[in-house]
Chain A
Amino acid sequence: MELDKKESIIIIKNLDKRFGQVKAVNNVSLEIKSGQVVVIIGPSGSGKSTLLRCINYLEVPSAGDIWVDGVHLARNTKNINIVRREVGMVFQQFNLFPHLSVLENVVLAQQVVRNRKRAEAVEIAKQQLTRVGIPEKANVYPEQLSGGQQQRVAIARALAMNPKVMLFDEPTSALDPEMIKEVLDVMLNLAKEGMTMVVVTHEMGFARNAADRIIFMDGGTVIEDTTPSELFANPKHTRTKMFLSKIL
């Protein structure tokens, strides 16, 4: 059992999440190996975002267990902060800190959480901003950036913490169409570099090109868990077929 947890960076066992009477996530069990790129798709309200948010405890599960990098998540603040430090999260609405410049957005948590020296944090921030392709925007404020640029800063901010896993919660859904590609390109590069990623998205192109594994969720449960080529070529379940026929 212990060995198991080491091989898989994320282990989810019998996870339930209820909002009042609604079961958003219903008895989901998953294991995600280090270096895997997992895309979760499904109709809205299928519980995919909720599942993702449970992984770093932004949603507190109603039942079940989660291990991230061997740490068991429970209602125990210390563990939660240890895990969050290792798990980067990118949100649909970017959630950059508007009162801080782009550089300070990326520097802040490094200093506060990782206790890095200012010079070191600034150096890493600049590297990460270069990595997402906007080093020249270091000194502007988030509101002066386009949506695509803001989302790339958000990715840089998460990467600066040297996470072992990156979670993406519909990272392109709030973007204008012409900005989606610049964000997806950054994510594709990350995938190529071997980052462990869990991505909730409607971008089937990204799923096809980058994912090692694709999970189709509906009604809070995992319906299919397979490779992208398999899923797109011959989906096994009728619900999967119906969903794919609507979006492809």
Chain B
Amino acid sequence: MKNEPIDSKSAMSSQVRLTNTLADLPWWLLIVILFSLLMMISFYTDGIYNAIFEFIRGGIIVTIRVTLISYAIAMILGLLTGLGLVSKNPFIYNLATLYVQVMRGLPILVTILYVSFVITPWAVGQVNSVGILLADAHILGADNILAKLGDRSAGLNIEFEVRAIFALAISYGAFSAEIFRAGIESIGRGQMEAARSLGMNYVQAMRYVILPQAVRRVLPPLGNDFIAMLKESSLVSALGVQDITQLGRLYSASSFQYLKTYNMVAFVYLGMTVLLSLGVKIMEKRLRTDGA
């Protein structure tokens, strides 16, 4: 009775091993690679794909630029807000919570539209009125930069790309704030106590003891946020910013090559996100083996 399962296992072992090996293969990656190969082949055999790629190539740079700058600002905002969320100061805590709740409750597209068409014109108007006030008081000249801000002919127009970057940054700042908060709270209370008992003040303890550990722990989720940001940056096409999506829309609308254009658009996004998510996976694995 005891030997039976072992026997049957050894008899099936080669078959079992094959099944296990097949099950362990990263099938999703194989499919992605296969898809990529098919696309690559099409690029060489089909001139239209080539033309599409040439057309949207500039968009790749815009997409990457928008993503990188928004993400960098979002990280700074997120870290500061995350610190606010764990703060014992009720004013700071409430301010941080208000920001997070409002931004997380808004669709990102709405935030982008709101920032671009409401907040930016309003802010520019405020700056203008300050500039005019200062000009009237003869502190600055009539043509000072504050009064002229937003004036297209003076070259001071605030580009839609800048507005979009700001909107994405404040949206993602709220998401990453929650990640930073969770990271900080995951560090045991004893760490703060040990740092404080050595005479460090709160800021020093955060800076040298808590944050280095917390940030390490939240690197994978922050990496995932970066991938999400790359995808979400396609929303800036709603403002006419010429990223991958917008250029794809323009090309398909004028050429009626919808299938091939969006194939190419999807392929470019997938290529970037799959590579990035592999990077995050490797990072996760490395952090885990380091015992962090």
| A interface list, Cβ under 8 A from B | 56, 58, 77, 81, 84-85, 87-89, 91, 93, 95-99, 108-109, 112-114, 143, 154, 157-158, 161
Contacts and interface: CB of A to CB of B under 8 A. Distances in A.
B22 interface: no
Interface in B18-70: none
A72 B193 CA distance: 21
Nearest to B194: A95
Interface stretch (B116-124, B208-216, B261-269): B208-216
Interface string B174-218: 000000000000001011011111111100100011001100100
B5 interface: no
B193 A91 contact: yes
B213 A87 contact: no
Interface of B: 188, 190-191, 193-201, 204, 208-209, 212-213, 216, 291-292
Contacts of A84: 196-199
Given A97-B209, A99-B212, A99-B213, A109 B199 contact: yes
A75 to B, nearest CB: 13
B292 to A, nearest CB: 8
Given A93-B190, A97-B191, A97-B194, A85 B213 contact: no
Contacts of A158: 197-198
Question: What is the predominant secondary structure among interface residues of chain B facing chain A?
Answer: helix
A109 B198 contact: yes
11 contacts: A77-B201, A85-B198, A87-B197, A88-B197, A91-B190, A95-B194, A97-B194, A99-B212, A112-B200, A112-B204, A161-B199
List 5 tightest A-B contacts by C-beta distance, closest first.
Answer: A85-B199, A95-B194, A109-B198, A89-B197, A95-B190
A112 B208 contact: yes
Nearest to B207: A112
Contact of B200 (A89, A95, A96, A109): A109
Nearest to A78: B201
A238 B18 CA distance: 74
Contacts of B198: 84-85, 88, 108-109, 113, 157-158, 161
A84 B201 CA distance: 10
A58 B196 contact: yes
Given A97-B195, A98-B213, 20 more contacts: A58-B193, A81-B200, A84-B196, A88-B198, A89-B193, A91-B193, A95-B188, A95-B190, A99-B216, A108-B209, A109-B199, A112-B200, A112-B204, A112-B208, A113-B198, A113-B204, A154-B194, A157-B198, A158-B197, A161-B199
Nearest to B205: A112
Nearest to A158: B198
Interface centre among B191, B204, B209, B213 (most CB of A within 10 A): B209
Contacts of B291: 143
A51 B109 CA distance: 55
Contacts of B292: 99
Contacts of B193: 58, 89, 91, 95
